[in-house]
Structure 1
Amino acid sequence: MYAIATNGTKERKAIIFAADVVAYSKHMEQDQLGTLNSLATCETIIKTLFQKHNARLFNTGGDSFFAEFESEISAVRCAVEFQNALKSHSFSENNMIRLEFRVGVNSGLVVQKSGNLLGDAVNIAARLESLSQPSGISISKDVYEQVKTKSDFQYNDLGFQKVKENYFHVYDIVLEPFQRRDLTRQKKIDWLKRLGRFAAIGICLIILSSVGSYFYFSQTDFVPADETKFAYELPDKPSIAVMPFDKISGEKKYLADAIIKNLISAIASTPNMFVISENSTSSKNIKGLSVAEVAEKLGVRYIVDGTFKGSDEELEIDINLSDALQGRVLWSQKYQGLLDDVFQIQEKILTEIFKNLQVQLVSKDRGKMSYFSNHEELRDYLKAQSLFVEHDREKSLIAEKLIEDLITKNSNAGPAYASLAALQWQKAIWGWSDDTKATVMKGREAAGKAYSIMQDSDSIAVNIAARLESLSQPSGISISKDVYEQVKTK
C-alpha cells in the first residue's frame, strides 16, 4: 500500500473514486434483508479491488464508498472492473437484490483531516457519480486526458454539464452500447428557458404526450425492436419482462404492486421461461421508453404492460402482451371486478400469458398473493412489511399485532409466518426483547411453519431461520428437520 501524506492542512493532489448505490432507500423499503446481503457482497468486491489497485478507502456512508488512488488510470481500471464484476456476479433472485452502482472519478486538490479527505476534488467526484448512469462511470476532463492513451476503453464526450451550480467537462466510459447518451438536448432546453419559452414547450409536450398515449394504447402494431441493438443475447427460451403498471390510480395501489410481483414470481418458478427481475423493470432508465426500446434495453422478446385502477370496492386492469421482435400485440384484455377478485384475475392473466407463448405452466407457485384469502389479508401483510423497515420498536409491535391477527384468521398464510419470524429476528438484534431466548424460539417456530407451508428452500423463511440460528445455541431451540437441512448450509 502506498503512503498518504499527513501534512496538516496543506493542499495536495489526489485522485478520487466515488461510488454510490442506485435507489438504495427504495431497495431497503422493498426488501431490507436482501438489500443488506447484496450490499455486503458488493462491499467485499469493491474493497478487494481497492486493495488490488493500492487504493485507500477514506470514507463510507454504508451505501457509498470514497477512495484515493495513486493514479488516474488505476482508478478508472478499478471502476471498470467493479462494474463488470457486479454484472457477472451470480446473485440469487430470491435471496438478494441486484444492486447497481454509479461511479465518478476526479482528480484535484484536497486537504486531509483525521484520515478523511476534503475539498473540491471530492465534491466534484461525488457530483460526477450522481451524473453517471446506473452501472455507469463518469470521469472529469482532467482524468480523461490522463487515461485516454493508456487504455482501450471507449469514451463518450458529454461536454460541459451543470450539477448543483457547478459546470465541468464530463466523459462517460462506455461499457455497454446502450450507455452511449447525448445530453446536448438539455442545453437546448436551458437556452429556450432563458428566452422565456418554457410555457410553450410545456404545452407542446402535453399535447405530444396525449397524442402519443392515444396511439400507444390504441394501436395493435408498432415498430419492431432491432435484435442487433439488444443489450444481451436472447436466451434459448421465451424471455419476458413484466413492467410496472402505468397510470396507477385509486386507493388500492398496493394491489397493483402485488400483482406485478406475483406475476414475476410465478413466471420465474417455471423453468421454461426467462423473466427479468422487478429491480430491472422498475429502473428509471426504462420509464418512458417504447415497447421495442424496453425489449432492446432489457434483452427480452416479450413485454407485459398495462394500467390499474382501484377503488374501495372495485378494480379495473387493462393489460397487454407484446412481441417486440414482430412488433405485434399478441393479447390485450380488460378485467373488471371486486377487490377480492384480484386473485382470480391474476390467475387468468398468468394463464393467458403462458397460452399465448405456448409454454406449459409446470409450477404451482403463484407467488405470495396465493396464500391470502382476501385483499384485506394482503393489505395487512403489506402494511406490516412497511412497518418492519421503519426500524422502530413501537411500529414493530404494531406490525407483529397485524401479522398475528392475520395468522389467527388464516393459518395457511405462509408469508405471514415468514414476516413474524423476521419481526422476532429484528427484536432480538435490536435488543427490543426482555427474553431474547423466547423471542428467538418464537421466530424459529414461525420460520419453520412458513417453510412447511411454502416449501421453498430459497424463501425468506429459510434465510431468517439461518439468522436466528446464529443468535442462539442449538440447545433449547427446536426446528423441523426440513428447515435444519436447509439452514445448515446457509
Structure 2
Amino acid sequence: MERKLAAILFADVVGFSRLVGRNETKTLADLKAHRDDLVDPQIAEHGGRIVKTTGDGVLTEFPSVVAAVECAVAIQRAMVDRNRNVPQNERIEFRIGVNLGEVVVEDDDIFGEGVNIASRLEGIAEPGMICVSGAVFSEVKSRVDFHFEDLGAQTLKNIAEAVHAYRVVPSGSGPEPQYAIWTDEVLPTPKKPSIAILPFANLSDDPEHDYLADGLRLGIQAALIHASGLFLIGAGTVKRYRDANLMTADQAGRKMGVHYVLQGAVQRSGQRIRVTLELTDVMARQIIWAERFDRLLDDALTVQDEITAEVLKSLDIKLASGEKWLLHTTITNLEALDPFYRGLSYFYAGTREGNAAARDMFEAVTCLQPDSPVGPAYLCFTYWTDAFRGWAHTKEESLVQATLWAEKAIKLQGSNGLAHIVLASVHLQNRNHDEALATCYKAVEIRPNCPTANSYLANVLFYCGRPAEAIAKIHEAIRITPVFPPWYMTLLAAAYRDDGQFGKSISAAEHSLRLNPDDRDARLVLCSGYSLVGQHQQARKVAQQIVAIEPQFSLARYAETQPYKDVGALTLLVDSLKAAGLPQ
C-alpha cells in the first residue's frame, strides 16, 4: 500500500437526516443541484479529485493545501448566495474540514489518520463554516487572503493526540482582517436610484493596463459619489464581492440591494482605447443602455465625463444646484492622467505597499498640475491611512503631513471632500470637537455616497456625546458598503452602549470580534457593556483577555486616546472598565 502526504477536504451537510425527513425528494434534488452546479465544478477548478461520496458528504484530495482551502472558501461563499431566498429550515448548509497529513492509498481510495482528522474537523465546524488543522494553517497562513481564528487544541473522537484547530474567518486579508464579507442579511433596495459599478475588465494583451480599467471605473465612481440623488454602493464593497466570485450583474445587484449595475471592459492598443459598457436593470434582468467609445488615450477624461452623464441620464437623476461642477475632474493636464489612474489602482488595493506606491503617483499628479486639488486630496489620505493603520514611521509626522496636504486641497477650487475627512479626524484628535463636526458635515455634504465620510461623521458624533445620531450614521455607512471594516461594528457597539442599549451593544461587540478576533477595542466595549449591566464575571473574563493581548495596557493611557467632549461620559467608561479589573 502506498503512503503519501495529501491535502484532504471533507464536507458534510448540516442536519441532513432532518432535511430528508421533512422532504426527501426536494432535499435530494437540491443537494444534487448544489453538487452539479457548484461543489463538483469548484473542486475540479481547484485541481481536486473526489475520492468518494457518502450520501450527504464528499471526501476530496488536493495536490495543494492552498487550493484545498481556497476551494472550501469558494464553496461556502457561493452557498450564502444560493441560500439567500431559501427558508432557514429548508437550507442546505455545509460544514467543511481541511487537513494536511499522511494518507494510505489503495486503488482509488484513501484512508488513515489524515482522512480521519479532516472528518473530525468537519464535525466541529459551525454550519456554513470551515475548520482546518494546525498543519494546514502553518502552510497557508501567509499564502491566502483569509484570516484564521485560533480554536486551540481540540480533542477529536478516535484521534489519539489533540489537534490544534483554526476556523477560517471570512473577513479581511492576511493577519490584519479588514472587511466583513459574509453577510446573510437581505439588503433593502433604496427608494432613490441605486447603482453598483463592477470592476472593468482589461481586454488588452498587457496586464499592465489593468490600472487603466481600474482608473476609469474609479474615476466614474468618484464623480457619481457626489450626486445626492443617487445611492451608490462603495467601491470597496464591489471589489470584494467580485473577489468572492459573486459578480455577475444579477448576483451583484441582488447581493447589494441595488436597482442597477454598470459593467464594462477597456481595451488599449497603442494610443487608442475602446471602452464598452452595459447598464443592467437588475429587477427586470435586462440591459437598458449599452455603448462603445473609441477614443484616443488623450480623450480618456472626456470619455469618463460622457459615461457619467449617460448613467445619470439613464437613471433619470436630476442634479441639485451646485453638484454639476463636482462631476468633472479638475485634472486637465493629460500627462497627469496616467499617474492619477495608477495611483487610484494602488490606493484601493488597501495594502501598505499599495499606499506607498499611490503616494508616489499622487505626488506626480501634484507636480504636473499644482492648481488641481485632486493630487493633494489623495496625498493627504495616504498619509492619514499610514497613521491610522500603523504603517507610519511616526504617527505624529504622518498626521502633520496629512493636515498640510488636506488644508492645501481645501483651499484649491473643486475640493472633492476627501481632505475634509482627514482634517475632521485631526481636529477630533486635537479635541477641537466643533471644528471636527463642522468639517465632517461638509465632507458628507460633498460626498453623500461615501461610506468613509458617513462613518467618520458617526465617529465624531459619538465622541461629541450624540450616540443616537452616530448609530443612524453608521447604519448608513454599512448600507452604502455592505462589505465593511470591522471597526464599523465596534463603533456601533460603543454607540449603543453610550445610548443605554446594552443588549444591542454586547451583540454588536461580539459580532465585531467574530469579524476580527484580535480587536482590542471591541473587547473593551464588550467588557464595559458587561460591567454596566452587572455581568461582572463575564466582564472580568474579557478584561483578562485584553491584558493577555496587550500586557502593558493601562486605563490612564487608554483614556488619553479617547477624545470625548463630555468628561463625565469618559469617567463612566473608565470606571466600568476599572470595576472589571483592568489596571489603572
Q: Output the TM-score relative to the length of structure 2.
A: 0.40
